[in-house]
Amino acid sequence: MASKPRIKLDKKEAKKGDLVEVKALVSHVMETGQRKDAAGNTVPRKILNKFTCTVAGKQVFAADFETAVSANPYIQFKFKAQESGTVVLTWTDDDGSTIVGEETITVS
């Protein structure tokens, strides 16, 4: 998975206690395992099943995705600005590989 996730924070600089909104989009087929190909064989399941977001090493949000999450999963959530640091978004694939995206936030 070489594709780079697209991440957008609604503000790069925040005051302590502010809510920061994160929008992220990642390319992935999110194959449900229920579809059949032209030959009638079931296409094996392959989805991103886990998503986590940490800010300065602390988890602020996480999600478990199931097959009912659309292809190229989009996720939007907020977190409370506490300290400056790196915002790390991690998606975990069924095969164990991960897609990682980073942004920085400055908290004053």
Partner 1 sequence: MTTTFNRRQTLALGAGAISLAMFGAVPALAKNDAEEAIKKFTGGKTPVQGKVKLDLPEIAENGNTVPMTVTVESPMTEQSHVTDVMIVADENPRSAVATFHFSPASGVAEANTRIRLAATQDVIAVAKMNDGSFFIASKQVKVTIGGCGG
Q: In angstroms, what is the minimal distance from the CB of 58 to partner 1?
A: 6
Helix, strand, or coil (residue 70): coil
The reply on whether position 69 binds partner 1 by CB under 8 A is yes
Q: In angstroms, what is the minimal distance from the CB of 59 to partner 1?
A: 7
Q: In angstroms, what is the minimal distance from the CB of 93 to partner 1?
A: 16
Amino acid identity, residue 30? M
Question: Which tokens sit at 102?
Answer: 């980073």
Terminal Cα-to-Cα distance of the chain (whole angstroms):
36
Helix, strand, or coil (residue 14): strand
Residues that bind partner 1 (CB under 8 A): 19, 32, 34-35, 55, 58-71, 73-80, 82
